[in-house]
């Protein structure tokens, strides 16, 4: 347990380090709440280096909340393509529209109003309110939990939800209320650059003198984790259906996993079913089309956060029927040259280049 004097010293040293050693990131060059909000939404579950090009393109295309509100969701998803967790993009777009209508585009600067917006959880609310509006809310993300667990030798495991209140209470206690935005970013930056998961660099750590795990020689024991369960792999058949030189693509429903993105039709294998049988059945069920399998196109594996998929991709020929959708929200028959206009999930991108070679 750190004393009030030690907490003051820790804040001072951490903020001084952050001023000198932080990475020059574009969202740190602005006080614009909208830009900060976009960056924080992108940074959830995603590394800084991955986010950078997406953030730049997004802000260039939609520099204001109003521009985002007026954009087609299709264009927003296209810019988000590959970043994953597409509900983030849909919520941003929807919320932009709501704020333009109900608050003349003003982003709320109080907890109750901001936290109530679609897609805004405790992390986003604390990050945006502290960084953009200097409000005294402490953020808790994976980096923060790891730093706190080591600094204070917290025995609570980092993953289960009940632990969150323990980490939140400690983060609240350490927060520098005079500079909450900088302090929050400093803790996260320390976790990203110095107090890293596998190899914390304690020899250059600005808060080493306050660190209980370093003092006790127990850094490797923190943060505590509960054993993770094996990740299931789902077998999925996918058909690239050709008809007169065009391919069928379908759009996933707006809500749910990968909502609003385009894909090639297909679905899960049933027990005892071969991938090609599943492919023919799924296309009949989803699009009411009869197809003939012409041959395999690719085998693709892709990992999501809680499961993996194994895609068995087939080239198919349309034989009969008229599209009647059961599940997807839309369909198109497109030429290969048009494919880049549509936003696809990452797993589809793993075989789309093969289409250019093999088709």
Residue positions annotated with a catalytic role: 40
Q: List C-alpha distances in Å: 313 to 124, 237, 298.
A: 38, 6, 5
Q: b or e along 255-279 (b: 16 or more beta carbons within 10 Å of the residue's beta carbon)?
A: eeebbbbbbbbbbebeeebebbebb
Q: How far is the CB of 208 from ligand SF4 (least distance, A)?
A: 4
Q: 200 vs 266, which CB is nearer to ligand SF4?
A: 200
Which span (58-66, 178-186, 210-218, 315-323) binds ligand SF4, by CB under 6 A?
210-218
Indicate the SS3 state at residue 44.
Answer: coil
Q: 8 vs 255, which CB is nearer to ligand SF4?
A: 8
Q: 100 vs 193, which CB is nearer to ligand SF4?
A: 193
Which span (65-73, 82-90, 205-213, 288-296) binds ligand SF4, by CB under 6 A?
205-213
In angstroms, how far is CA 26 from the centroid of its own chain?
19
Q: How far is the CB of 164 from ligand SF4 (least distance, A)?
A: 20
323 binds ligand SF4 (CB under 6 A): no
25 binds ligand SF4 (CB under 6 A): no
241 binds ligand SF4 (CB under 6 A): no
When binding is defined by CB under 6 A, the residue of 42, 138, 158, 211 that contacts ligand SF4 is 211
When binding is defined by CB under 6 A, the residue of 207, 236, 238, 280 that contacts ligand SF4 is 207
205 binds ligand SF4 (CB under 6 A): yes
Tell me the C-alpha distance between 297 and 284, whole Å.
19
Q: 198 vs 320, which CB is nearer to ligand SF4?
A: 198
Structure tokens at 68: 């985002």
DSSP 117: S
Asked whether the beta carbons of 264 and 240 are under 8 A apart, the reply is yes
130 binds ligand SF4 (CB under 6 A): no
Asked whether the beta carbons of 266 and 273 are under 8 A apart, the reply is no
Of 8, 3, 1, 6, the C-alpha closest to 183 is 8
219 binds ligand SF4 (CB under 6 A): yes
Q: 83 vs 151, which CB is nearer to ligand SF4?
A: 151
Name residues whose C-beta falls within 8 Å of residue 275's C-beta, 6 or more positions apart in sequence: 235, 237, 269, 312, 314
Per-residue binder mask for ligand SF4 (CB under 6 A), 160-199, x = binder = ----------------------------------xx----
Q: 77 vs 194, which CB is nearer to ligand SF4?
A: 194
Tell me the C-alpha distance between 280 and 289, whole Å.
9
Q: What is the 3-state secondary structure (H, E, C) of 171-240?
A: HHHHCCCCCHHHHHHHHHHHHHHCCCCCCCCHHHCCCHHHCHHHHHCCHHHCCCCCCCCCCCEEEEEEEE
Indicate the SS3 state at residue 289.
Answer: strand
343 binds ligand SF4 (CB under 6 A): no
Q: How far is the CB of 16 from ligand SF4 (least distance, A)?
A: 15
Q: 214 vs 348, which CB is nearer to ligand SF4?
A: 214
Q: How far is the CB of 213 from ligand SF4 (least distance, A)?
A: 5
**Count of residues in the chain:** 359
Q: How far is the CB of 211 from ligand SF4 (least distance, A)?
A: 3
Binding site for ligand SF4 (CB under 6 A): 147, 150-151, 194-195, 200, 202, 205, 207-208, 211, 213-214, 219
């Amino acid at each position: 347990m750190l004393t009030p004097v030690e907490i003051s010293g820790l804040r001072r040293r951490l903020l001084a380090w952050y001023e000198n050693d932080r990475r020059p990131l574009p969202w740190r060059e602005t006080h614009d709440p909208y830009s900060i909000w976009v960056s924080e939404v992108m940074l959830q579950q995603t590394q800084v280096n991955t986010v950078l090009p997406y953030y730049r393109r997004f802000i260039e295309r939609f520099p204001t909340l109003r521009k985002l509100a007026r954009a087609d969701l299709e264009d927003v998803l296209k810019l988000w393509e590959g970043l994953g967790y597409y509900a983030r993009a849909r919520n941003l777009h929807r919320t932009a529209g709501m704020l333009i209508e109900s608050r003349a585009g003003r982003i709320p600067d109080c907890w109750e109003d901001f936290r109530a917006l679609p897609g805004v959880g405790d992390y986003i609310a604390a990050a945006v309110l502290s960084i953009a509006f200097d409000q005294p809310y402490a953020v808790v993300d994976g980096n923060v939990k790891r730093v706190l667990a080591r600094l204070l030798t917290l025995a609570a495991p980092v993953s289960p939800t009940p632990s969150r209140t323990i980490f939140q209470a400690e983060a609240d206690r350490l927060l520098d209320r005079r500079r909450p935005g900088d302090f929050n970013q400093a803790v996260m930056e320390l976790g990203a650059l110095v107090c890293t998961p596998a190899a914390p660099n304690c020899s250059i750590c600005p808060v080493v003198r306050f660190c209980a795990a370093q003092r006790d020689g127990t850094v490797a024991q923190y943060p505590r984790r509960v054993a993770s369960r094996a990740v299931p792999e789902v077998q999925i058949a996918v058909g690239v259906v050709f008809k007169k030189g065009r391919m069928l693509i379908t759009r996933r429903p707006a809500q749910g996993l990968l909502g609003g993105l385009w894909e090639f039709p297909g679905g899960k294998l049933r027990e005892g079913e071969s991938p090609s049988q599943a492919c023919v059945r799924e296309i009949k069920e989803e699009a009411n089309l009869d197809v003939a399998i012409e041959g395999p196109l690719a085998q693709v594996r892709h990992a999501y956060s809680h499961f993996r998929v194994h895609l068995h991709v087939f080239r198919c020929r349309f034989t009969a029927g008229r599209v009647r959708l059961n599940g997807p929200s839309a369909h198109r028959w497109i030429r290969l040259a048009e494919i880049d206009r549509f936003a696809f999930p990452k797993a589809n991108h793993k075989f789309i280049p093969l289409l250019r070679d093999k088709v």
